[in-house]
Structure 1
């Protein structure tokens, strides 16, 4: 059995995050000792690992809870879990497209500054130097 502190170190999560996940009932196999301290077994570590990955993929705690509940219901929920993963994949791809647009914008901005630095164009980036109209 592992303590919150040990699990935090093992999974590179904060103790606060682990407590939060258990309070949200995302770790069904967590146990309590006589002093009501959380204790984690290997199954609990598996749940937390899965939660960590889903959270890193951008899934909300609420959707993770739905996913966990479906897992607990068993194989009859595989289709529903698949749909949740597909929705998260679509959201991740949309975020990727947004990130690409931001990166392109920054690339254009960097090229613009490079041209200014090399005296190809005048500095038009400083609002204090803009001509009043």
Structure 2
């Protein structure tokens, strides 16, 4: 059996996060000691690892809770669990595309600044000196 503090160190998450996840029902069958402190087994740690990883993938706590409930219902709900994961994959891929566009924008902006620094072009990046109707474009 492990304490909240032990699990926090082991999983590199805060004690607050562990308490939050357990309060939200993301760790089924959570045990408590005689003083009503949370105690964790290897199985409950596995639930926390799953919740932590799904959260890192962008899932909301509510979505993770639904996923946990479906897991508890067993293999008969495998298709629904698959659908949750598939939708999260699509969302992650969309976020990746957005991140690529942001990266491309900032790379071009950096090149633009280097051209200004190297006096290839004048400084047109300061809104204080833009001409009327130019909008820095």
TM-score relative to the length of structure 2:
0.94
Q: What secondary structure is seen at the aligned counterpart in 2 of 1:123?
A: coil
Give the equivalent residue in structure 2 for 1:100. 100
Q: Is the 8 A contact 1:29 1:40 kept in 2?
A: no
Give the equivalent residue in structure 1 for 2:73. 73
Give the equivalent residue in structure 2 for 1:58. 58
For residue 128 of structure 1, report the CA deviation from its aligned partner: 2.0
Distance 1:125 1:32 in 2: 59
Give the equivalent residue in structure 2 for 1:130. 130
Counterparts of 1:6-21 in structure 2, within 5 Å, are 6-21=6-21
Aligned-residue CA RMSD (Å): 1.0
Give the equivalent residue in structure 2 for 1:38. 38
User: Which digits, 9 at most, give the CA deviation of each residue in 1:12-53, with x for residues without a partner?
Assistant: 000000000000011003201111100000001110011111
TM-score relative to the length of structure 1:
0.97
Distance 2:66 2:110 in 1: 43
Stretches (4+) displaced over 4 A: none
Give the equivalent residue in structure 2 for 1:83. 83
Q: What secondary structure is seen at the aligned counterpart in 2 of 1:83?
A: helix
For residue 7 of structure 1, report the CA deviation from its aligned partner: 0.3
Distance 1:94 1:130 in 2: 35
User: Which digits, 9 at most, give the CA deviation of each residue in 1:52-111, with x for residues without a partner?
Assistant: 110000011000000000000000000000000000000000100110111011011001
